[in-house]
Structure 1
């Protein structure tokens, strides 16, 4: 019997006498009903139910019942990886393989429920740090959202899940005297690098990627256009984090030191300011790990305890926020949102809270003096009236 088209979908009678229903799903593919029907009316009723599910966003692709979390996560990863930086690709792949796949990989997309996600988060919390748990959950949430957007499931199971709290870990903010003491202990090249981090607010990867063409000594400016990322297979140079290219004006004394360093380097715009430490290796950037080892030695010698290169960036943010406001600090650090600056970098300078209290004391005293003066002024006319 010929196929009969309906307002939604179509039905046809098979040689066996049973009726088959088919429809075109939101995914653009043709889907047959999972079973055949004894009557044409039952086949049409099935199409009506499917049409309602699609209209109300409840439709699930028939293939969802067969697709596992691991299979969909791999499809999602391969479709999106071209948009990510190398470090992000490496990090996401590691989280999928270590934290998501072994626990949830074999579960069918349609079978994954919030209670299962909650149990997974609880188990992970016993095995890895809170930051890794939260990273894994955010990644799973992205994978599940893509499944919803592609009509594999009607709603994400990543909802209503309580995540472990991150421990409070404020950056170490140094004073100008401490930074100068630290830089003075460093060898000449490392001294320039330390001062760029503290007085320019650069990330260590941005500083190591600086080339001659990025530096305008005459006008005291540096252009942050590239960054070195450390991967398992070796360093990779790309754009800065969030692709935020920016130009910065540096203090004169830092510019002079940069100029002196450039004067000892070969010509050419591609020459790295902080090139390899072996002879004739200015065509590649210095090793971060080597600098990190020397930095720890200098920090210990300066008596500063546990200070990292990233703390110098936070120090710069705090200095600038304290003197010129958070918005200026955010621009210098390359943050599109100033809340990132205050949440992760800028902190109140030591002693600033005491200064605030002293200022409020002065305000209160001034108000009290003014109030007493008004009362005294009110008494004078009264006394004059009594004398008359």
Structure 2
């Protein structure tokens, strides 16, 4: 049990409570003005120890900055790209705001204000922007780092509850997917050239992520069974390519269209089984092509060709709409979306698309590509029309026939 003693100070007598922590360390709390206050504190501390809710006041005086680096070092379960994202969020957003804040001083309202302020643009008196608003994804990532640190503090009994939980976060704005048609995919592949064109076709018809394509070895290409075995993911993290397991940590086998067998066989010809199928110019795993690369150049030429064709069609027919479709400015990852679109157009169901893309569940595939399955709903409606045949819904027509039948009897 705790012991309560009085001691003198310059401002008068005060009371001190001496007690043992759950790990049997002797500690004390001083400065109570009355014995009743000291007794209440002792009773509350005893109950919290009995319930397993005791938080050492000394532990709550550590700062977020004391815990952050060690928390980041323990995130070894994350993929390299996700770990780097967390490190950037900590360095840019969390540490500058919360690094010197003690755990005991954290409040739910201040965390909510921080989240709201990150998504708000700030202007000076003259209307000039002094602080740009962070996007919803950036805000959610930064909040996730702070909340994760505080969750661990709760588990370590440094805090009783996490003041960040329950904070309202901004909603992500879902980016509209860009889909290419078969003709557009072939145009892009032809513009990319014989060596890079096969990369375009594999991305657009097999649905691989860029890191999965970059990580393909010759042994992963089975042209006899027409399968691509996705065993690794080569992701650009900063300026270094990190090689690990696929995004979902599960290997998968992707069917290969027949027209891709020969181009892939040519890409593998003369290489050992452990060689990279699509290496970088200087060897090693290739980074995803960004601006001013072979991919962006091929897209630019396709856009220019489509725009030229549309302009010529407008000149020939002033009233009609151009037949040639607008060529969207796509990225390598957009070809993964295209693969989903072309698979659905070919009649694939959601489970087949899920397996091809390597999603963890069919629900995830539906959430990501709900717009592609709208035709399935239309097919259900058409099936109802076909099944009903000549039956007509006419609730206001008098039911004469059944009455006549009864009278005849």
User: TM class, shorter-chain normalised?
Assistant: 0.7 to 0.9
Q: Does the Cα contact within 8 Å between 2:17 and 2:42 map onto a contact in 1?
A: no
Asked if structure 2 preserves the Cα contact closer than 8 Å seen for 1:276 and 1:287, the reply is yes
* RMSD of Structure 2 on Structure 1 (CA): 3.7
Match of 2:255 among 246, 249, 253: 249
Q: Deviations over 1:135-157 (max 9, x none)?
A: 11122111111111111111111
The question of 1:102 aligning with 2:89 is answered: no
2:280 matched to which residue of 1?
A: 276
CA shift digits 1:293-351 (9 cap, x unpaired)? 211221222232211111111222234356232222222212212232223346326xx
Q: 1:346 to 1:194 in 2, by over 3 A?
A: farther
2:354 is the alignment partner of 1:330: yes
- Check 1:332–1:19 CA distance in 2 against 1; reply closer, same or farther (3 A cut): same
| Paired position in structure 1 for 2:241 | 235
**8 Å contact 2:267–2:278 — kept in the other structure?**
no
Which of 369, 373, 381 is the aligned partner of 1:360?
381
Choose which of 24, 28, 33 in structure 2 pairs with 1:33. 28
Residue number in structure 1 paired with 2:137 = 131
Classify 1:30/1:166 alpha carbon distance in 2 versus 1 (closer, same or farther; 3 Å).
same
Equivalent runs, 1:160-171 vs 2, <5 Å? 160-171=166-177
Q: Give ranges in structure 1 of 5+ residues lacking alignment.
A: 1-5
State the match for 1:306 in structure 2: 329
Give the TM-score normalised by the residue count of structure 1. Answer: 0.81
- Aligned to 2:274, the other structure's residue is in SS state coil
Match of 1:211 in 2: 217
Please report how far the alpha carbon of residue 113 of structure 1 lies from its aligned counterpart in structure 2 after TM superposition. Answer: 0.6
CA 1:115/1:290 → structure 2, altered by over 3 Å: closer, same or farther?
A: closer
Distance 2:273 2:266 in 1: 16
Distance 1:135 1:344 in 2: 20
Which of 50, 58, 67 lines up with 2:45 in the alignment? 50
CA gap of 1:380–1:342, structure 2 versus 1, over 3 A, is closer
Indicate conservation of the 8 Å contact 1:225/1:240, yes or no. yes
Q: Rate the CA distance shift 1:237–1:48 in 2: closer, same or farther, 3 A.
A: same
Alignment of 1:343 with 2:340, yes or no, is no
Residue 167 of structure 2 aligns to a residue whose secondary structure is coil
Matches of 1:366 and 1:59, distance apart in 2: 68
Partner Cα separation in structure 1 for residue 383 and residue 41 of structure 2: 79
What is the DSSP-based 3-state SS (H/G/I as helix, E as strand, rest coil) of the residue aligned with 2:242?
strand
Whether the aligned pair in 1 keeps the contact of 2:178 and 2:328 (CA below 8 Å) is no
2:357 and 2:278 mapped to 1: Cα distance?
20
Going from structure 1 to structure 2, the CA distance change for 1:170 and 1:54 (only over 3 Å counts) comes to farther
Q: Hey, what's the Cα distance between the residues in 1 that align with 2:369 and 2:389?
A: 39
Flag the 1:346–1:291 CA change in 2: closer, same or farther, 3 A: farther
Note closer, same or farther for the CA distance 1:183–1:271 as it changes in structure 2 (3 Å cut).
Answer: same
Aligned counterparts of 1:166 and 1:107: Cα–Cα separation in 2: 29
Instruction: Give the corresponding residue for 2:56.
Output: 61
Query: How many corresponding residue pairs?
Result: 363
Segments of structure 2 that go 5 or more residues without pairing to the other structure are 9-14, 121-132, 304-326
